[in-house]
Amino acid sequence: MKVIPNSAMDAVPHRTKKPARERFPIHLLIVDDEPIIRLGLKKMAEAYMPSFADIRTAENGVDALGKIAAREPNIVISDIRMPKMDGLALCQTIHHHHAHIQTVVVSGYNDFEYAQKCISYGVKHYLLKPVPQSTLHEVFDAMLKKEAPGYIPVTRYVQWIDCVEQCIWTLQTDELNRLMEEWKDYCLQANLSFHQLHELLNECMDMLLKRFQVRHFIPTITMRDIPEGNITIALEAFDDQLRQIEGCLRLSRNGNYKDAMQLAKNYMDDRLSQELSLDEVAKMAGLTPTYFSLLFKKMTNQTFVQYRINKRMAMAKELLGVPHLKIVDIADEVGYDDYSHFTKTFKKVVGISPSEFRSSLGIK
């Protein structure tokens, strides 16, 4: 499975006019038969921020169509006059077969007829050579600001992968079902093309498999043949791969898996007198703090802090039943250096003060 770089997230230090915008990685194809022009446009495109996922070049329309077939770009910049297939024929083909690809024409010919034909083929921008870098960047701004079909914020799918990784690792099948349904709906609403969706799902799967490799778990998954253009089957195939990963993990553990939440609670219960952070306990359980917090609340109906307080007060009640123990020592035993804080917390949770609770037990 190929690895797709997240270079759209990289910063280009020499263009800091505006901050990088989170978006689905954007791919650019530059088509011109003159090597110097191709190189110049490529250099100017490389200076654009946020940066493109990749920038490819082609010598003519035939070469460009071959590269579009291999991997669809989001934007094509094309010269007009080229051998084998000129820019107008290329734009016409793109318009008829890849309408979601945005096109820009760059030409040295200030000819109104060319401009009219470009418009009829869906071309939104017609630029005359030589093209200043500022003008090209303004065109990119205008095109990307429209959020063409296929936009999914990078942080959105990374956060989703975070949750999927954690719930597979903890074998939370119901949660995995919910996450997958949420993801299907989100991808469909984003109006991705088939090739954009296929690339995104590959990237997500690569990211997920690498994370499991870090955990020393390498699942075996089989790939389903996906008919070209069938978005529904692509999503179903991705869902199936997630189920395979979960199944491999369950099989590899062979009943030897210790519940992460139970491990966390045992760890916390044994250290009630100590100050523990949520990050520390999450790390012990092998989960990210965010996912651990959400899962803990779901499994216990309490937040991390509430659980700790309730456990400490339950232990304090037990110790208050031991006549010879001083209340101030009990407070310290359950993790409260501040006696006043302990008594206020105890009363808030139990309803009466520690001394009143002890009196209710018949202990003076």
7-145 adopts what CATH topology? Rossmann fold (3.40.50)
Give the model's pLDDT for residue 257. 57
Task: Give the CATH number of domain 260-360.
Answer: 1.10.10.60
Helix axes 339-350, 304-320, angle to 10 degrees: 100
Average pLDDT rounded to a whole number, residues 238-265: 79
Give the least confident one: 10-19, 177-186, 212-221, 292-301.
10-19
The proportion of the chain whose per-residue pLDDT surpasses 90, expressed as a percent, equals 12
Q: Give per-residue pLDDT as tens, 204-238.
A: 888 899 888 888 888 877 777 777 778 888 898 89
Most confident of the following: 149-158, 288-297, 349-358: 349-358
User: Which residues make Cβ contacts (< 8 Å) with residue 18, sequence separation at least 6?
Assistant: 49
Q: Per-residue pLDDT for 3 more than 60?
A: no
Cα pseudo-dihedral 308, 313, 319, 324, rounded to 10: 120
Give the model's pLDDT for residue 256. 58
Top pLDDT among 327 and 158 is at 327
86: pLDDT confidence band, cut at 50, 70 and 90? Answer: confident
| C-beta separation of 221 from 245 below 8 A | yes
The residue type found at 178 is R
Cα–Cα distances in Å, from 158 out to 57, 154, 243?
29, 6, 19
For 314, the token pair is: 């339950």
Q: What is the rounded radius of gyration, in angstroms, for the C-alpha atoms of the chain?
A: 30
317: pLDDT confidence band, cut at 50, 70 and 90? Answer: very high
Top pLDDT among 12 and 83 is at 83
Q: Per-residue pLDDT for 333 more than 50?
A: yes
What gap in Å lies between CA 363 and CA 341, rounded to an integer?
A: 23
